[in-house]
Structure 1
């Protein structure tokens, strides 16, 4: 009986000790993270020199170890004090276009009860890691820094988290504290305005009538004699009175305006990155014209269908599109047409100058039979021209400003 109680007590004590040891280890490990590579090297030198020097009586080696200990110990006060800040990133706009200025402001306010020491503040912007030297801040005192983000390339950049960095003069210890959550800056592609009223190929987006006749639609077509079962709401009473025969109005069915854009994201289809950027800008220009006209838009790439919920999400999605080598050409992206947009009324294929014409032809054969298909090739190093490939008409575009004229040309 006594032995069992002692065993239970020992097990309880061991469990309690284990909890304490784990908590201590968590604290120690968190504190040890402030050491840099140089700091760990100094610790290793100190331990080795003191052990070996003491074992063999080498005073010089023991002195070296003691010196390393003093260097690490003298670095502790520089990282021991943890500053307390309120930090915010203020952007003039979270969405800009290529070439526009993206300006922001970093605001740091002292939030502790005592003055925070001078420190370095790091603000990651994409792959860049700019740093600002911040002075001592009294409680309630603010420090701000204006910054500009380059927008020469379409991208989705992550800003932050803002971190404060404290280190000693030698660089043995370093303490970093994150103060904000990451924020996104969308750099949209350049676009040009395409007037759907005057640009030939986009006229279809207004809803063209088909050759299919119906008894109820928006486009009046002709009159015919009444047949049993016809809806009397469509009786044309003026013609009925004149001919003494019951006449029914007949209509042409109109198609729902649906623009499908197929963009090749195969890097092998483009001569360089500038051609791919031109292709993305082409998609953005055509897609925005459709969305602003209240039309249905679907965009297909090698990675699938873009999630579109309006102009903003459309341009955000284009900001993150990347080209990767696959060797499959635009034909692979067109495989999903039958499931993504079987009722499309216009299909625009967008690819680069390095893409095989056979792939472009194969992609066009997957378009719906009732749809009108055209293609635009981004050709930065060739002259703009209108070309015909079987029953597919396509245009080479060297500059984005040539796109409206190119779409007008392929509609002729």
Structure 2
């Protein structure tokens, strides 16, 4: 800044400042590009070659001069490897965006040489999750196509990022390395295992969308039969035509219809599980229950524990709802849930769910063997009166079973397949 001064000196100062700024930005861009392609060996060469020139000519050591010139020639040759861009086109395909844990999954890289001349081979890198796959691309003749299929690991739930595919151009010595990105990243959702379970019509809200049950009632929308009038019956339900034929008052009797609002509460507290196997089984149970409710077009809420921040002064009493719009959306959310030491235990999850979710008719509490029967009984009391509470304890070391504790149904399962039998036994009890 030169203020209000004018004249040749002021103009010179302004021009110098402007040019220095332009030069500084240009040097920063060049330095950034150089740092992106130089390897540690390349940086060492940048230091050694000038030092060898100075020391060799300054001290008269011809050996150092020869070393300096040899290093300079090698650096120039290495730089030639970075010139230009390969004319090939690369496409990354992941045929399936969602798979079940343990299922086979694969991806495909297609390389095409659209030119009329041969293209030299190079190395292709494909990041797959935490790993990296390297593919040696051979020389491609004109209009040649190279296809490479690779496996994607699905041993664990989660989201596996695949790509972006990049080619590596480097000199044989390893002074420079240039990465060219060709594709975008793809994501593969690895869902938990689920199993088909029987439908349930448990619920207490009467409406036109409900499912008829075997329970009979005097007022509903699903007509069942006629019976004789009894004192206390409402006159509006009298069937006058049948009454005229029989000579006695006959009233309509209905089947009770119910629409269930199911709550599936999954504990993410590490202390509620003895090991990772129990937790994975619990995630599969929650997914199976939620999918059954979605298929039955029921109102369902799938809730998981929130995690208390590390330096919080008090425990965070909150739950996180998962998406139940579609089966795929629910499984996408379940694919990324993880247990945590500071996550809410099942009793606190039940407490928050009972306070925040309205109109609950059935609540499933899903946990591991770290939760005792008395703790489950305490958790069941957090829901309003009349809510049917079913606890599903995942314990591969125990024998599958069913028992009732003070109005609470406790299902113990060792494998996911045990859930079908346990629910059927619970419904018949």
- TM > 0.5: yes
Which one is further off, 304-313 or 241-250?
241-250
In 2, Cα distance between equivalents of 1:253 and 1:20: 83
In 2, Cα distance between equivalents of 1:210 and 1:245: 26
Instruction: Find the counterpart in structure 1 of residue 160 from structure 2.
Output: 157
Instruction: Find the counterpart in structure 2 of residue 143 from structure 1.
Output: 146
Secondary structure of the structure 1 residue equivalent to 2:132: coil
Instruction: Find the counterpart in structure 2 of residue 117 from structure 1.
Output: 120
Which one is further off, 124-133 or 91-100?
91-100
CA shift for structure 1 position 239: 5.3
Instruction: Find the counterpart in structure 1 of residue 269 from structure 2.
Output: 266
CA shift for structure 1 position 317: 1.4
In 2, Cα distance between equivalents of 1:307 and 1:225: 44
Instruction: Find the counterpart in structure 1 of residue 202 from structure 2.
Output: 204
Say whether 1:320 aligns with 2:341: no
In 2, Cα distance between equivalents of 1:70 and 1:77: 11
What does 1:11-410 correspond to in 2, within 5 Å? 11-12=14-15, 14-111=17-114, 115-138=118-141, 140-196=143-199, 202-204=200-202, 207=211, 217-218=221-222, 224-226=233-235, 236-238=239-241, 241=244, 254-303=257-306, 304-326=320-342, 328-338=344-354, 340-410=356-426
CA shift for structure 1 position 154: 1.9
Instruction: Find the counterpart in structure 1 of residue 6 from structure 2.
Output: 4
In 2, Cα distance between equivalents of 1:12 and 1:253: 89
In the alignment, structure 2 segments of 5+ residues that lack a partner are 204-209, 307-319
In 2, Cα distance between equivalents of 1:333 and 1:112: 62
1:267-304 CA deviation, whole Å, 9 max, x = no partner? 22222212111111111222222111111221111131
Q: 1:285 to 1:392 in 2, by over 3 A?
A: same
1:321-352 CA deviation, whole Å, 9 max, x = no partner? 21222274212322331355321221111111
In the alignment, structure 1 segments of 5+ residues that lack a partner are 197-201
Q: Given that residues 122 and 138 in structure 2 are in contact (C-alpha distance below 8 angstroms), is that contact kept between their aligned partners in structure 1?
A: yes
Which one is further off, 176-185 or 360-369?
360-369
Instruction: Report the TM-score when normalising by structure 1.
Output: 0.85
CA shift for structure 1 position 195: 2.3
Secondary structure of the structure 2 residue equivalent to 1:337: helix
CA shift for structure 1 position 114: 5.7
Q: 1:279 to 1:35 in 2, by over 3 A?
A: same
- Root-mean-square deviation (CA, aligned residues, Å) is 3.2
Q: Given that residues 201 and 259 in structure 2 are in contact (C-alpha distance below 8 angstroms), is that contact kept between their aligned partners in structure 1?
A: no
CA shift for structure 1 position 56: 4.3
In 2, Cα distance between equivalents of 1:48 and 1:268: 61
Secondary structure of the structure 2 residue equivalent to 1:260: strand
In 1, Cα distance between equivalents of 2:50 and 2:257: 85
Which one is further off, 396-405 or 45-54?
45-54
CA shift for structure 1 position 82: 2.1
Secondary structure of the structure 2 residue equivalent to 1:204: coil
Secondary structure of the structure 1 residue equivalent to 2:151: strand
Q: 1:391 to 1:215 in 2, by over 3 A?
A: closer
Q: 1:225 to 1:187 in 2, by over 3 A?
A: closer
Name the structure with the higher helix share: 1
Q: 1:259 to 1:64 in 2, by over 3 A?
A: same
Secondary structure of the structure 1 residue equivalent to 2:420: helix
